[in-house]
Structures are given as structure tokens and as C-alpha cells.
């Protein structure tokens, strides 16, 4: 997760959908995974094949899941982060918490909170007394430390028509946490990574190890985005591109292989200059990172070629490696294609530049000497699917403003 700080003066609406279709997996399978699904609303006797939520955008380029924790349920807004595994929310007592608008969760007030004891097989972290603890650092210097516990997580349907609850989700009750550039909407992080601790893995007995999201562009955050666990409910028209996921035991990222990037008719090969980046799985696709982070050389080639194609003088900011423009109506951003193995993903304007407010647009790429990331600006207006059984990521160009 790497949240890039920028301010957008954009209003947005908030909502949630739960798609309700055919069958649940066999009960035996659900039991073997240790999770059962409970449909709370009496009107819904059928079990869904997918769980679809509308995401609440925050102003920092993160898409937030609206759900509740505990009994009675307390609302949370957690960043949907395919670049990490641990689910956590801020909890009382706060040793060190960032400020948040929603009340901080108090486990003493929930009848379903169960602290994870050290002798549990799920305790992979450290121990303090008999309490199992966790700690996690993110690439942008954000972090979270606290107690591991299980709780009931509830997701909501549009206008509260339905709720779906998962009784024993393992999560971190954070007593010490920091988020870079938080706007105080976020109460935690929902890990959509590959390990058994992630939400995807924990609810996979019900929905399989598959999820999809469709993020609306930053310029249209007044329209909700969607996140769906389970089958893709949106039909099969249009062409879908598939590229393999390489897992690396040393981290929990979904690693893709980026062969190169084309700007117009110029193609630049991926050339990582860090020995830790192997040619296969050289870039992590991450819903929780805003900008696309490229090796310095590739970034410089892409930046220079894009800026040469743009007939507007960039704004001068001596403090920034970024490149920004004002009044872009008059220019055309050149076509950019991301060449993943087996998938040439064509980017459009909203994937290449992001609106910084007041008519200023900035390039949605930045350089790094470390781990490259395929960020969420580049993923907007694509239905992005993760299939952890087949170990593939899929991209389908989609108007995400029409999904919800
Ligand atoms: C979260 O969902 C609940 C239930 O639908 C709703 O009442 C609440 O306003 C939502 N919160 C946000 C921030 O969208
Ligand atoms: C939650 O628990 C704390 C500490 O036990 C208590 O002071 C507070 O009143 C409780 N809040 C609610 C809403 O029950
Ligand atoms: C863990 O320890 C507690 C207290 O010592 C004990 O009651 C419980 O049975 C143990 N559980 C496991 C899974 O060993
Ligand atoms: C996080 O980073 C800090 C500072 O570098 C380090 O002391 C700590 O051990 C790290 N924690 C984890 C869980 O990796
Ligand atoms: C990576 O490449 C860039 C551009 O060639 C260069 O400026 C930088 O020093 C290199 N870093 C390392 C660690 O080799
Ligand atoms: C660059 O940074 C300096 C020192 O932090 C600050 O005074 C200056 O206003 C910044 N310039 C721009 C254009 O942001």
C-alpha cells in the first residue's frame, strides 16, 4: 500500500451493493474452511455466489470498503489493498492512533470479539503474555501494530436491503498505527493479498479465491466503484486480457511481469536496476497504491516521451520529480500500452494523468529504485480480476461508472 498524497476537490456519494445470485458452495467445503456464512436479512433465504460491495472513495486515491465489525456492529471504512494481507482496524485503547472520523472500535463493547491466544494455530505473530500480536510495515512508512483477534464482519447491500456476515474473521485490533496522508475517513486496511490472513483467503470457502474490482477514475469519484468476491457477475462480452501471477514466498504481492511500455510507437523495455527485482514478477499489482511506480530508467523514458508528445509547457515545481500541466483540454495524451506477458493493456487518458485539482493534471507514474507497483490510477475503468486458483490477473476495459 502506498497512498500518494493529493487533494481533490470533488464531491462523492456513498453506497453499497450486494449482488444476490444463485448458489453457495457445498456446506462441507465451507465447514472445512472453518467459516460459515450467515444471511441476516430474513428476505434473503438464498445464498449468494458472489458478494459485491460498492466502494467509498476517499480523497487520497484509495477505495474504501464500508463494513461493520462486532456485535453490535460498528461501521468501518478500510482501504481495499491487494498489496497486503492483514486486515486491521484502529482499536481502543489507543497507544498511538491517527485521528479518524468514525468512533474507534472498542472490543470491550462487542460480545463477539475473541482475542487470539498464543497457542492458536492461527497465531503466526508474536506473543505478549497469552495474547497473539501482529505488526506490519507498508512501503510508504505507514504501519500498524496490535492484537490479533476474531470478530464478526458484516457487509451491506444497497439501501440496507441485505447484510452478509462472516462470524470469525481474523483481524488486527490496532493499538499503534500510522497512515501516511490520511484524510481521517480510513479506519483501517482490508488485506486482499495472497496469504491465508487476507479477507479473500478467509472468505474463500464461500466465494472461491477470486475477486474483481472496477475503480472509477479520480475525476469521477461521485460515482461508486465496486468490489466483488466470487464469480464475475458482469457477463462475458468484450475482450479480456489475462496475465500470470508470480508469487514470491518472501512477500505477499501479486507479482506480474511487465515486459515494457509503449508510448505512441516507441517501446521501452522494462529494465529494473535493482538486483532484488527478478525479470519474472517484476511489478506488483496493487489496488492500494495510487500511482504506478516504475524503475527510474523506464520512468524517465516514459515521462520524457509523454511530455514531448504533449504540446503544453509543464508547470515548474522544483521540489517534485512529477510532471504536471494546466489547461489540458487542448492536448491529446499519447497512447500508452503496458506490455504484460500475454496482455498488452492499452491505457487511456484517465490512466496516464490524474487530476490534482484546479485544472492541474499530473503524470500518474513515479520513479523508484525499489519495488515497482502497478497503481490504481492505471487500473481505473478496467474490470480487474484476480483468480488465485489459476494464478492469473485479468483486465477488461470497462466503463466502471456504469457498473454499480
Ligand atoms: C455504510 O453502509 C451503511 C449501511 O448501508 C450506511 O448506512 C452508511 O452510510 C455507509 N457509510 C458510508 C461512509 O458510506
Ligand atoms: C464502550 O466501552 C467503554 C469501556 O468499557 C465504555 O466506557 C463505553 O461507554 C462503551 N460505549 C458504548 C457505546 O457502549
Ligand atoms: C490454549 O491454552 C489455553 C489456556 O492455557 C487452554 O485452555 C486451551 O485449551 C489451549 N488451546 C489449544 C488449542 O492448545
Ligand atoms: C517496521 O519497521 C521498523 C523500523 O524500521 C522496525 O523496527 C520494525 O521491526 C518493522 N516491523 C515489522 C513488523 O517488520
Ligand atoms: C538506476 O537507474 C537510474 C537511471 O539510469 C540511475 O540514476 C540510478 O542511479 C540507478 N540506481 C541503481 C541502484 O543502480
Ligand atoms: C519547495 O520546497 C520549499 C521548502 O520546503 C518551499 O519553501 C517551496 O515553496 C516549495 N516550492 C514549491 C513550488 O512547491
Averaged confidence pLDDT in the chain: 82
Structure confidence by residue, pLDDT tens digits, 250-264:
778 999 999 999 999
Q: Can you give the pLDDT at residue 41?
A: 28
Question: Atom 5 in ligand 5: which residue has the minimum CA distance?
Answer: 297
Phi, psi angles (nearest 5°) of residue 273: -110, 20
Contact in structure between 192 and 199 (CB atoms under 8 Å): yes
Residue 330 Cβ contacting ligand 2 at under 6 Å:
no
> Which ligand is nearest the CA of 161, by number?
1
Residue 28: phi, psi to the nearest 5?
A: -60, -40
- Most informative mutation of 7, 314, 316, 318 for ligand 6 (most atoms within 8 A of CB): 318
DSSP SS3 for 374? strand
Report pLDDT for 231: 77
Cα of 130 vs centre of ligand 3, distance in Å, is 10
pLDDT band for 233, please (50, 70, 90 cuts): low
* CA–CA separation, 246 and 160 (whole Å): 39
Confidence band of 191 (pLDDT split at 50, 70, 90): very high
Q: Which residue has the cell 510507437?
A: 265
Q: How far is the CA of 319 from the centre of ligand 6 (A)?
A: 6
Which ligand is nearest the CA of 78, by number? 1
Higher-confidence residue of 22 and 367: namely 367
Do the Cβ atoms of 20 and 44 come closer than 8 Å? Answer: yes
Ligand 4 atom nearest to CA at 145: 13
**CA 242 / ligand 1 centre spacing (Å):** 34
**Which residue's alpha carbon is at the smallest distance from atom 12 of ligand 5?**
273
What pLDDT, in 10s, does the model give residues 99-128? 999 999 999 999 999 999 999 999 987 888
The 8-class DSSP code of residue 401 comes to G
Which of 81, 85, 147, 350 is catalytic? The answer is: 81
Q: Is the CB of 308 under 6 A from ligand 6?
A: no
Q: Which residues are registered as beta bridge partners of 89? A: 173, 188
Model confidence over 194-212: pLDDT tens digits?
999 999 999 998 888 999 9
pTM to 2 decimal places: 0.84
**Which ligand has the minimum distance to the alpha carbon of residue 185?**
1
Q: How far is the CA of 320 from the centre of ligand 6 (A)?
A: 9
The C-alpha atoms of residue 183 and residue 161 are separated, in whole angstroms, by 29
What is residue 206's predicted lDDT score, i.e. its pLDDT?
87
Q: In this predicted structure, what is the pLDDT of residue 10? A: 24
- Cα–Cα distance list, 25 to 30, 43, 48, 68 (Å): 7, 20, 9, 24
CA–CA distance from 394 to each of 142, 197, 214, 241, 285 (Å)? 29, 23, 12, 5, 11
Question: Considering every ligand atom, which ligand is closest to the CA of 322?
Answer: 6
Element of type H or E holding 324: strand 324-326
Residue 309 pLDDT greater than 60, yes or no? yes
> CB of 106 closer than 6 A to ligand 2?
yes
Give me the pLDDT at residue 277, please.
Answer: 58
- Specify the pairing of strand 292-295 against strand 365-368: parallel
Provide the terminal-to-terminal Cα distance of the chain, rounded to the nearest Å.
Answer: 25
Q: Closest-lying ligand to the alpha carbon of 303?
A: 5
How high is the pLDDT of residue 234?
54
Confidence of residue 37 (pLDDT cuts 50, 70, 90): very low
Q: Among candidates 252, 319, 326, 335, which has minimal Cα distance to 286? A: 252
The alpha carbon of 379 and the centre of ligand 1 are apart by a number of angstroms equal to 25
Is the per-residue pLDDT at 291 higher than 70? yes
Nearest to 6 by CA among 334, 362, 282, 273: 362
Q: To test ligand 6's pocket by mutation, which of 7, 317, 319, 322 has the most ligand atoms within 8 angstroms of CB?
A: 319
User: Is any atom of ligand 1 closer than 6 Å to the C-beta of 16?
Assistant: yes
Q: Which atom belonging to ligand 4 lies closest to the Cα atom of 143?
A: 1
> How close is the Cα of 314 to the center of ligand 6, in Å?
17
Beta-strand pair 382-387/292-295: unpaired
The pLDDT of residue 31? 27
Q: Pick the catalytic residue: 58, 147, 286, 350? A: 286
What mean pLDDT is predicted for residues 270-299?
Answer: 84
Residue nearest to atom 7 of ligand 1 (CA): 160
Residues 235-240: what's their mean pLDDT? 74
Quick check: 36 pLDDT over 50? no
pLDDT in tens, 336-358: 999 999 999 999 999 999 988 88
SS3 (DSSP) at 198: coil
- Percent of the chain at pLDDT > 90 equals 58
Ligand 3 atom closest to residue 120's alpha carbon, by position in its atom list: 13
CA of 88 from ligand 6 middle (Å) equals 35
56 CB within 6 A, ligand 1 = yes
Confidence of residue 248 (pLDDT cuts 50, 70, 90): confident
Q: Which residue has the higher pLDDT, 158 or 205?
A: 205
Which strands sit side by side in the sheet containing 336-340, from one edge to the other?
A: 266-269, 258-263, 336-340, 343-347
Q: Is 286 tagged catalytic? A: yes
The pLDDT assigned to 136 comes to 93
Ligand 4 probe mutation, 96, 137, 142, 172, most atoms within 8 A of CB = 137
Query: Lowest-confidence range among 247-251, 309-313, 348-352?
Result: 247-251
- Tell me the pLDDT tens digit for each residue of 380-401: 999 999 999 999 999 999 999 9
pLDDT tier at 295 (50, 70, 90 boundaries)? very high
With contact defined as beta carbons under 8 Å apart, do 323 and 309 qualify? no
Amino acid at each position: 500500500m502506498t497512498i500518494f498524497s493529493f487533494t481533490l476537490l470533488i464531491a462523492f456519494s456513498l453506497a453499497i451493493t450486494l449482488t444476490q445470485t444463485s448458489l453457495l458452495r457445498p456446506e462441507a467445503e465451507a465447514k472445512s474452511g472453518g467459516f460459515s456464512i450467515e444471511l441476516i436479512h430474513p428476505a434473503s433465504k438464498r445464498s449468494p455466489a458472489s458478494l459485491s460491495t460498492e466502494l467509498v472513495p476517499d480523497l487520497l486515491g484509495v477505495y474504501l470498503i464500508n463494513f461493520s465489525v462486532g456485535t453490535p456492529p460498528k461501521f468501518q471504512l478500510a482501504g481495499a489493498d491487494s498489496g497486503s494481507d492483514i486486515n486491521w482496524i484502529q482499536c481502543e485503547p489507543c497507544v498511538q492512533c491517527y485521528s479518524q472520523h468514525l468512533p474507534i472500535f472498542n472490543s470491550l463493547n462487542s460480545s463477539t470479539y475473541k482475542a487470539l491466544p498464543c497457542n492458536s494455530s492461527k497465531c503466526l505473530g508474536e506473543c505478549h503474555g497469552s495474547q497473539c500480536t501482529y505488526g506490519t510495515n507498508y512501503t510508504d512508512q505507514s504501519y500498524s501494530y496490535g492484537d490479533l483477534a476474531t470478530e464478526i464482519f458484516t457487509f451491506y447491500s444497497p439501501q440496507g436491503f441485505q447484510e452478509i456476515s462472516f462470524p470469525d474473521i481474523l483481524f488486527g485490533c490496532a493499538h499503534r498505527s500510522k497512515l501516511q496522508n490520511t484524510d481521517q475517513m480510513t479506519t483501517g486496511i482490508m488485506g486482499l493479498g495472497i496469504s491465508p490472513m487476507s479477507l479473500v483467503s478467509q472468505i474463500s470457502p464461500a466465494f472461491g479465491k477470486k475477486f474483481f474490482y472496477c475503480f472509477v477514475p479520480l475525476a469521477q469519484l461521485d460515482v461508486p466503484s465496486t468490489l466483488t468476491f466470487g464469480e464475475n457477475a458482469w457477463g462475458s462480452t468484450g475482450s479480456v486480457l489475462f496475465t500470470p501471477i508470480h508469487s514470491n514466498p518472501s512477500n505477499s504481492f501479486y507479482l506480474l511481469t511487465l515486459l515494457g511500455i509503449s508510448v505512441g510507437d516507441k517501446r521501452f523495455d522494462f529494465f529494473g536496476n535493482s538486483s532484488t527485482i527478478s525479470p519474472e514478477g517484476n511489478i506488483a499489482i496493487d489496488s492500494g497504491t495510487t500511482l504506478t511506480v516504475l524503475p527510474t530508467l523506464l520512468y524517465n523514458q516514459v515521462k520524457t516521451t509523454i511530455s514531448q508528445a504533449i504540446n503544453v509547457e509543464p508547470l515548474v515545481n522544483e521540489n517534485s520529480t512529477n510532471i504536471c500541466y494546466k489547461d489540458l483540454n487542448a492536448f491529446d495524451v499519447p497512447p500508452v500500452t503496458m506490455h504484460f506477458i500475454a496482455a498488452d493493456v492499452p491505457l487511456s487518458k484517465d490512466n496516464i494523468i490524474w487530476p490534482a485539482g484546479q485544472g492541474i493534471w499530473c503524470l500518474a507514474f513515479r520513479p523508484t529504485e525499489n519495488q515497482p507497483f502497478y497503481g490504481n490510477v492505471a487500473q481505473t475503468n478496467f474490470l480487474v480480476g484476480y483468480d488465485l486458483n489459476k494464478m492469473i490477473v485479468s483486465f477488461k476495459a470497462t466503463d466502471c461508472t456504469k457498473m454499480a
